[in-house]
Amino acid sequence: MTENAVEILLVEDNPSDAKLALRALQRNNIGNAIHHAWDGAEAIDYIFGEGTEAPRQPRVVLLDLKLPKVDGIEVLRRLKADERTRAIPVVVLTSSKEERDVVETYRLGVNSYIAKPVDFTQFSEAMRAIGFYWLLLNRLPTP
C-alpha cells in the first residue's frame, strides 16, 4: 500500500451522516486518507473504474445500504465476488435494522454490520472503535 493510498472508503449518500462520519473520524485522528463516494455507482467506479490498472484497495469500506444508483447490497456483492477485492473488509454502517438486510449482507461476506447510532457521542464512539480495530488492530493480507 502506497503512502497516499486511501485507508477508508466511506460510501454514504446522506450529507448529514457523511459529515458526522468524517467529523467523528477526524476527531479521533483516524484515517488521514478518506475517500467519500456519494452513491454505489461512484464506489464501484472508484474501486474498479477506468484508468485503474488494478482495483483500488482501501483498508476498509464503510458502506451504507440505502444508496442511489447502485444500492449497498450490490456494491458488497461486487466487492466480494471479485477475487482481487474479496479480502477488503466491508463494514455496513446503516440505519437499517431489518433482519433480512443483516442476513443478506452476511451471506454475501460482510465483515461487520453496524446500525448507525442516532446520538453524536455514540456515533463518534462507534467510528473510533471501527477505525481503531480495522486500521490499527486488524491485519490484512498483502494485495
DSSP reduced 3-state for 45: helix
In a domain, 143, yes or no: no
Whole-prediction pTM: 0.90
Domain extent at residue 133: 8-137
Q: Note whether residue 35 is domain-resident.
A: yes
Q: Is residue 79 part of a domain?
A: yes
| Interior/surface letters 91-111, b for 16+ CB within 10 angstroms, e for the rest | bbbbebeeeebbeebeebebb
Question: What 8-state DSSP symbol labels residue 134?
Answer: I
Instruction: Look at the block and give the residue holding cell 456483492.
Output: 77
CATH, residue 39: 3.40.50.2300
In a domain, 3, yes or no: no
Total of domains in the chain: 1
Q: How many CA atoms, within 13 angstroms, populate the side-chain half-sphere of residue 39?
A: 5
Cell of 30: 483516524
**142, part of any domain:** no
Q: What is the pLDDT along the chain (143 residues), one digit of tens a residue?
A: 444 466 899 999 999 889 988 888 888 777 678 999 999 999 999 999 876 678 888 999 999 999 999 999 999 999 999 999 999 999 999 988 899 999 999 999 999 999 988 888 898 889 889 888 988 888 887 76
